Amino acid sequence: MYAVIKTGGKQYRVASGEKIKVEQIAADVGQEITLDQVLAVGSGSDLKVGAPLVSGATVVAKVLAHGRHDKVRIFKMRRRKHYQKRQGHRQDYTELEIGTINGGQ
């Protein structure tokens, strides 16, 4: 069984037992959270698509860790204008282990 969930403005296809990195969620390590924004639930050739959400469907996940992705370097330059700007960014993430997927109605 798999599900398509929405969290942090992004969509993820998840299955039970998978580990995924999502945008940072305010939860403690080891805590179980319930993701209720489920867009689709599927099992084999059976697919239930919501409009926009599947009613009653939830995904239970366990928070494994919090961290930061690798640095993304930003470099801006205007030629012949003596303008150079360097900047870096590291996005925070939360690592989740997907537990049970409840299909809803």
- Cβ neighbors of 35 (< 8 A, separation 6 or more) are 5, 7, 58, 59, 60, 61
Give the H/E segment covering residue 58. Answer: strand 58-68
Which residues of the chain fall short of a pLDDT of 50?
none
DSSP 4: E
Q: What pLDDT shows up at residue 104?
A: 72
Q: What pLDDT shows up at residue 67?
A: 98
Q: What pLDDT shows up at residue 103?
A: 82
Q: What pLDDT shows up at residue 47?
A: 92
Q: What pLDDT shows up at residue 105?
A: 66
